[in-house]
Chains A and B, each alone.
Chain A
């Protein structure tokens, strides 16, 4: 067991010293807390290294920045819809009646030094938080990092994204400017479209008829206490599970399912992660200082009879906006009640369904493969063509809906007819993701073939050899054993056969239809994948290369074959291409 804990990663062995002041501090603390047993393993815990593991870190640090800047903002923000006359520094709005929330947001922007910086940093880091979570989720999905034992962490991550988006919308609504008020009004319309309960939900949310004077204080509570508390708890669970499971790693020399290879937490990871916090914080500060975001003073106070053209929500609400815009105007009035499909489906059902589809994928995959093993080695996206294609299709759908959410802006920029864009999007959201799915899958499978080519015949050197007969071939050279091992370090896919409907005793197999569905899915999801070569195929491939190309390779060795003879400076005998 003692070898399992890394003792050193430096070139010099540790030398016993007298107990230092640090050691006595540890003794003092351990006498009271008894943490040394847990700490001895974790201080030198190994984390594997890869740039893509940094994406979740951006999300984590952005959340910390949100907490810090958010606390600063609470010192001055007044979550009240009481009417006041603005008397602050911003001349254009002075003397106007507005809610205290809006007036205090203006005060933070113009009368509190550093207030605008903190507001802008808060907003930028919120964008960064949600964006980083989404990209981190894509990384986890594309590399199969969600597989057993990490399914629960996958679900926790999905909840975090959902909560992050709700938290963002709540924060966006707080300044009570014209844009955020319009956003709340749309939210009221969405809530009212809920079957049976909609009107009650709206009245209970707003404390009466929209807009009322309760919604800002209520959203404030949700924004600074309830939702951040939930997010914090889920992040804690997410991180604890990460530490317990140990991070996934890419396959490679020395990396197996049974180990984790990388750098120790102390000092390398503590330094890298801690340093990265400051980098994220610093970049956010630069963004807050240099890039204007949500200039609420330009929109004016909320007025329910006004709206600005080209109004857009924050980017992460873009897909809900797109869904609302391209939905046909369907509504049913029956038995004296109204069902607003045109609002309920795109505004409430679809966003949840889309998220649920992505979150459910790991469970579909586990069921179809029947794989009960733990997986700690990541998969390259190409080696899971159906999964990769599914996410590509979902990303395409997301992008299309996003574009649909800005159809008015697209119409202005590209001088297109707004109605035509909308009609196009209504079809495109069904057709384009399917095309992208098929294309991505074929693309992945081609890449798998190319990997096998590289394994069997070596890599393309770019050196063209001319044989004595006048034929041209490209010289291939074998890849390094390490690279070859890395390419083959993946599982073979097993495809379930459709079994006969009866077992050996002639009794219909229980769940026969379900088994058949599973077998068909297995065939559809994995049947087309290219498997890595067997040891025999590799052997044959190498012999083939040696037999076929030995003379060429050797022939090439006696003169320069670096392509310089074709650079135009040397006459090449029999070379006709350049003569015209």
Chain B
């Protein structure tokens, strides 16, 4: 043991011996490598009966797999998915049987093959030498020579004009590549998109499910209604003249910005600044979180706090939508409202600041 170890440097470093820097590390001290362990035969190597048994096991797995594949086809034609999506523990008969049969068909092939490898294939460990990853010094210098000869013959070094103009032309190709993407979208017309919503002076506030316009009496103290401007919800008793009803993409874009929540609090609980933009303790705020734009929905009656379910920014609706907790930086924009001539709640104007998440140009 000690003989071997004497031949090795104490630190295990052999950098000096292999200037190429790709010498493998050596770790053979202080105990010499005893060499590979002796191979012990498995029962299947020495006992023909055991080997036969293993062979039958493997074949059995393959047969189960075949049967499962047939069962898959039977299940496919036996069950309609749509008829019973919730049977068998809410999984659905079709999904359950297809999954089980396919799973078994695949699993049994895998188990069979691995059993075959473990029990019957030769299991003697073999050793193979490693070679340095780097090429031999001869190959390396030949490559370098070929490279420099090629470059020399191209005249790239002697004719810098060609080299520089080539590099310039390749670099300029970046321009078409970038410019060609220009039509991915319109330039942001911030004034007419991010800073404008569907709210107009006199727009009715309607319930966002029923489409019914809200009156002050529809709201109890502590109550909250999710609302939209008229025109973004299917009207509850036919379209009104003079109102633009949006559809499709525009509808989604406007709904995403104009969504509001209307709450009613005890008028004395609400700060003066806040109540100036409301009616009898009824106030209206943007529903879109100023953090990253989730619709806010969790209302705590007692504290007048509104919580965003995505990242838990919390806003005080009794005090101008001030941020009381969470990652949002800005107050929830308040929509000034009043009671219209026909007794419905209407907007005084659009929001006085952009709704939703911040952006660079927001100022």
- Are the C-beta atoms of A375 and B362 separated by less than 8 Å? no
Say yes or no: is A268 at the interface (Cβ < 8 Å to chain B): yes
Closest 7 CB pairs of A and B: A289-B99, A89-B82, A189-B292, A254-B36, A282-B107, A304-B256, A278-B110
Say yes or no: is B201 at the interface (Cβ < 8 Å to chain A): no
- Are the C-beta atoms of A281 and B327 separated by less than 8 Å? no
Closest beta carbon of chain B to A14's beta carbon, Å: 12
Say yes or no: is B301 at the interface (Cβ < 8 Å to chain A): no
- Are the C-beta atoms of B187 and A292 separated by less than 8 Å? no
- Are the C-beta atoms of B81 and A372 separated by less than 8 Å? no
B80 cross-chain contacts in A, Cβ below 8 A: 113
Q: A272-B117, A282-B107 are in contact. Are A246 and B292 (CB under 8 A)?
A: no
Residue of A nearest to B132 (CB): A374
Within residues 53 to 73 of chain B, which ones have a CB less than 8 A from any CB in chain A? none
Say yes or no: is B104 at the interface (Cβ < 8 Å to chain A): yes
Say yes or no: is B125 at the interface (Cβ < 8 Å to chain A): yes
Q: A11-B122, A275-B112 are in contact. Are A283 and B103 (CB under 8 A)?
A: yes
Say yes or no: is A264 at the interface (Cβ < 8 Å to chain B): yes
Stretch with Cβ within 8 A of A (4 or more), from B17-25, B155-163, B169-177: B17-25
Say yes or no: is A553 at the interface (Cβ < 8 Å to chain B): no
Residue of B nearest to A330 (CB): B329
Say yes or no: is B1 at the interface (Cβ < 8 Å to chain A): yes
B21 cross-chain contacts in A, Cβ below 8 A: 372-373
Within residues 193 to 232 of chain A, which ones have a CB less than 8 A from any CB in chain B? 193-200, 202-214
Say yes or no: is A391 at the interface (Cβ < 8 Å to chain B): no
- Are the C-beta atoms of A90 and B85 separated by less than 8 Å? yes
Within residues 122 to 159 of chain B, which ones have a CB less than 8 A from any CB in chain A? 122-130, 132-134
Residue of A nearest to B41 (CB): A11
- Are the C-beta atoms of B186 and A208 separated by less than 8 Å? yes
- Are the C-beta atoms of B130 and A336 separated by less than 8 Å? no
- Are the C-beta atoms of B82 and A88 separated by less than 8 Å? yes
B90 cross-chain contacts in A, Cβ below 8 A: 292
Say yes or no: is B202 at the interface (Cβ < 8 Å to chain A): no
A558 cross-chain contacts in B, Cβ below 8 A: none
Within residues 11 to 42 of chain B, which ones have a CB less than 8 A from any CB in chain A? 11-15, 18, 21-37, 41
CA distance A377 to B85 in the complex (A): 53
- Are the C-beta atoms of A267 and B121 separated by less than 8 Å? yes
Say yes or no: is A116 at the interface (Cβ < 8 Å to chain B): yes
- Chain B interface residues toward A at CB < 8 A: 1-2, 5, 10-15, 18, 21-37, 41, 45, 76, 79-83, 85, 90-92, 94-100, 102-114, 116-117, 121-130, 132-134, 181, 184-188, 190, 193-194, 208, 226, 228, 247-249, 252-253, 255-256, 259, 287, 291-298, 309-314, 323, 325-330, 356-363
Stretch with Cβ within 8 A of B (4 or more), from A305-313, A352-360, A496-504: A305-313
Choose from B15, B116, B255 the contact partner of A303 (Cβ within 8 Å).
B255
Closest beta carbon of chain A to B322's beta carbon, Å: 11
Residue of B nearest to A241 (CB): B133
CA distance A288 to B181 in the complex (A): 39
CA distance A371 to B27 in the complex (A): 14
Q: A182-B310, A488-B29 are in contact. Are A203 and B287 (CB under 8 A)?
A: no
* 26 CB < 8 A contacts A-B: A4-B129, A46-B127, A83-B247, A111-B82, A198-B359, A199-B188, A202-B359, A209-B194, A253-B33, A260-B128, A275-B111, A277-B110, A289-B97, A289-B99, A304-B295, A305-B255, A305-B287, A306-B297, A325-B327, A329-B326, A330-B329, A347-B292, A373-B24, A491-B25, A492-B11, A534-B30
- Are the C-beta atoms of A482 and B37 separated by less than 8 Å? yes
CA distance A532 to B10 in the complex (A): 11
Say yes or no: is A419 at the interface (Cβ < 8 Å to chain B): yes
CA distance A494 to B360 in the complex (A): 51
Choose from B31, B123, B363 the contact partner of A485 (Cβ within 8 Å).
B31
CA distance A288 to B357 in the complex (A): 37
**Chain A positions 306 through 333: 1 when the CB is less than 8 Å from some CB of chain B, otherwise 0:** 1111110000000001001111111101
Q: A263-B125, A305-B228 are in contact. Are A185 and B292 (CB under 8 A)?
A: yes
Say yes or no: is A251 at the interface (Cβ < 8 Å to chain B): yes
- Are the C-beta atoms of A205 and B184 separated by less than 8 Å? yes
Residue of B nearest to A307 (CB): B295
- Are the C-beta atoms of A535 and B30 separated by less than 8 Å? yes
CA distance A482 to B32 in the complex (A): 10
Grouping DSSP codes into helix (H, G, I), strand (E, B) and loop, the A interface class, with mixed when no group exceeds half, is mixed
Q: A267-B117, A289-B100 are in contact. Are A331 and B31 (CB under 8 A)?
A: no
Q: A117-B102, A275-B112 are in contact. Are A538 and B30 (CB under 8 A)?
A: yes
B91 cross-chain contacts in A, Cβ below 8 A: 289-290, 292
- Are the C-beta atoms of B128 and A4 separated by less than 8 Å? yes
**Chain A positions 264 through 281: 1 when the CB is less than 8 Å from some CB of chain B, otherwise 0:** 100110011011111111
Say yes or no: is A418 at the interface (Cβ < 8 Å to chain B): yes
Q: A109-B81, A115-B81, A289-B95 are in contact. Are A206 and B185 (CB under 8 A)?
A: yes
- Are the C-beta atoms of B34 and A482 separated by less than 8 Å? yes
Stretch with Cβ within 8 A of B (4 or more), from A20-28, A337-345, A439-447: A337-345
CA distance A336 to B18 in the complex (A): 62
Choose from B184, B248, B309 the contact partner of A309 (Cβ within 8 Å).
B309
Closest beta carbon of chain B to A155's beta carbon, Å: 16
Say yes or no: is A81 at the interface (Cβ < 8 Å to chain B): yes
Q: A192-B358, A260-B130 are in contact. Are A203 and B24 (CB under 8 A)?
A: no
Q: A286-B103, A484-B31 are in contact. Are A254 and B37 (CB under 8 A)?
A: yes
- Are the C-beta atoms of B312 and A418 separated by less than 8 Å? yes
- Are the C-beta atoms of B25 and A377 separated by less than 8 Å? yes
Choose from A4, A211, A264, A343 the contact partner of B256 (Cβ within 8 Å).
A211
CA distance A391 to B126 in the complex (A): 34
- Are the C-beta atoms of B329 and A308 separated by less than 8 Å? no
CA distance A490 to B29 in the complex (A): 8
CA distance A42 to B360 in the complex (A): 56
Say yes or no: is A45 at the interface (Cβ < 8 Å to chain B): yes
Q: Which of A6, A373, A532 gathers most chain B CB within 10 Å?
A: A373
Say yes or no: is A548 at the interface (Cβ < 8 Å to chain B): no
Say yes or no: is A158 at the interface (Cβ < 8 Å to chain B): no
Query: Given contacts A303-B252, A310-B309, A331-B329, could you give 14 more A-B pairs where the C-beta distance is less than 8 Å?
Result: A45-B128, A109-B81, A208-B186, A257-B24, A275-B114, A277-B110, A288-B95, A289-B91, A305-B295, A338-B363, A374-B133, A485-B34, A488-B27, A491-B25
- Are the C-beta atoms of B98 and A275 separated by less than 8 Å? no
Q: A262-B125, A324-B311 are in contact. Are A491 and B27 (CB under 8 A)?
A: yes
- Are the C-beta atoms of B126 and A262 separated by less than 8 Å? yes
- Are the C-beta atoms of B14 and A373 separated by less than 8 Å? yes
Say yes or no: is A431 at the interface (Cβ < 8 Å to chain B): no
- Are the C-beta atoms of B360 and A9 separated by less than 8 Å? no
Q: Which of B22, B76, B95, B134 gathers most chain A CB within 10 Å?
A: B95
Closest beta carbon of chain A to B285's beta carbon, Å: 13
Choose from A89, A204, A282, A329 the contact partner of B110 (Cβ within 8 Å).
A282
- Are the C-beta atoms of B295 and A338 separated by less than 8 Å? no
- Are the C-beta atoms of A331 and B330 separated by less than 8 Å? yes
Q: A113-B80, A422-B312 are in contact. Are A532 and B30 (CB under 8 A)?
A: yes
Q: A186-B294, A333-B363 are in contact. Are A289 and B98 (CB under 8 A)?
A: yes
Say yes or no: is A462 at the interface (Cβ < 8 Å to chain B): no
**Chain A positions 234 through 273: 1 when the CB is less than 8 Å from some CB of chain B, otherwise 0:** 0000000000111000010111111111111001100110
Choose from B104, B188, B291 the contact partner of A189 (Cβ within 8 Å).
B291
CA distance A89 to B76 in the complex (A): 17
Within residues 343 to 401 of chain A, which ones have a CB less than 8 A from any CB in chain B? 343, 346-347, 371-377
A111 cross-chain contacts in B, Cβ below 8 A: 81-82
CA distance A481 to B33 in the complex (A): 9
Residue of B nearest to A82 (CB): B248
- Are the C-beta atoms of B181 and A204 separated by less than 8 Å? yes
Say yes or no: is A533 at the interface (Cβ < 8 Å to chain B): yes
Closest beta carbon of chain B to A8's beta carbon, Å: 8
- Are the C-beta atoms of B106 and A9 separated by less than 8 Å? no
Within residues 437 to 489 of chain A, which ones have a CB less than 8 A from any CB in chain B? 481-482, 484-485, 488-489
